[in-house]
Amino acid sequence: ALSYDHRIIDGADAARFLGAVKARLEEADFAGDLGI
């Protein structure tokens, strides 16, 4: 869930940010980052 103040942040900007976070999490190589 994402909560933000509509007076400061536009909903479209918040949606783009959340989409970027989702993509980074889905594409992450956590084992490689940890050297496993």
29 is catalytic: no
Kindly report the backbone phi and psi dihedral angles of residue 10, in degrees, each rounded to the nearest multiple of 5, phi listed first.
Answer: -70, 145
Residue 33 catalytic?
no
Pick the catalytic residue from 5, 6, 29, 33.
6
pLDDT in tens, the chain (36 residues): 778 888 999 989 999 999 998 998 888 887 777 777
pLDDT of residue 34: 76
Residue spans of the domains in the chain: they are 1-36
Residues 6+ apart with CB under 8 A from 17: 2
Question: What are the tokens at 36?
Answer: 């496993």
Place of tokens 């536009």: 10
What's the CA gap between 24 and 27, in Å, rounded? Answer: 5
**pTM (predicted TM-score):** 0.62
Name the catalytic one among 10, 13, 29, 33: 10
